[in-house]
Amino acid sequence: MHKGPYKDIKCGTYSGYMKHYRENEKPCAACKQANAENYQKNKEKIYARLKKYRKENPEKIRLTKRRAKIARRARLKGVRVERYTLEEVLNIYGLICYLCKDEIDLTAPRNCTGENWENGLHIDHVIDLQHGGEDTLENVRPTHAICNIKKSKKSPA
């Protein structure tokens, strides 16, 4: 039996599993079993909801995968990794490319396709991960796509 605001929720149920999740606890065996049963029972609904979300939010999916890949590389290098969002980067550093000092076009594509992609937003590590830079808010800046590509993986010196 759980304590706190969810005290009436019993272990061995899907709600119990979610309670563990909300409280950042390791779920007990009974709750894990209940979650597995719930998944098997509702597999089609879960997949349909996930498919719909992916179709409606392709940019979020792409960026989430990209951030996970960068964070993994940083952890493998043994450097500090800190969560940050695009909004935090733009609120702190603005919409000016830190390399060429021109304004970044937020309507331009962020990937290197389509018209005017060169002026699109990229988030660049000032000191690249391969040169020992950290994946933190202090080490990233907004840049134009073309400026970021030209900089590539040159050493900071």
Domain boundaries, the chain: 4-50, 58-151
Instruction: State pTM to two decimals.
Output: 0.61
Write down the residue that tokens 């020992």 correspond to.
132
DSSP letter string, the chain: ---GGGTTPPTTSHHHHHHHHHTT-PPPHHHHHHHHHHHHHTHHHHHHHHHHHHHH-HHHHHHHHHHHHHHHHHHHHT--B----HHHHHHHHTTB-TTT-PBP-TTS-SSS-STTGGGSEEEEESS-GGGT--BSGGGEEEEEHHHHHHHTT----
- Compute φ and ψ for 122, nearest 5 degrees: -125, 150
Residues in CB range of 151: below 8 A, 6 or more apart: 99, 124, 143
pLDDT of residue 50: 93
What is the pLDDT at residue 73?
Answer: 87
Is the pLDDT score of 151 beyond 90?
Answer: no
pLDDT on residue 129: 86
Q: What pLDDT is attached to residue 2?
A: 47
Shortest CA distance to 125 belongs to which of 64, 82, 91?
A: 82
d(CA 97, CA 99): 5
Predicted pLDDT of residue 89: 93
Closest CA to 143 of 95, 107, 92: 95
Confidence tier at 1 by pLDDT (50, 70, 90): very low
What's the confidence (pLDDT) of residue 4? Answer: 58
pLDDT per position as a tens digit, 87-146: 999 999 999 999 999 999 988 888 787 788 999 999 999 998 888 889 999 999 999 999
Q: What is the pLDDT of residue 75?
A: 86
Q: Right CATH number for 58-151 from 2.60.40, 3.40.50, 3.40.1350, 1.10.30? A: 1.10.30
**Residue that the structure tokens 């000032």 belong to:** 126
The span from the CA of 47 to the CA of 5, in Å, is: 31
Q: What is the pLDDT of residues 31-88, one digit of tens each?
A: 999 999 999 999 999 999 999 999 998 878 887 888 889 888 888 888 888 888 889 9
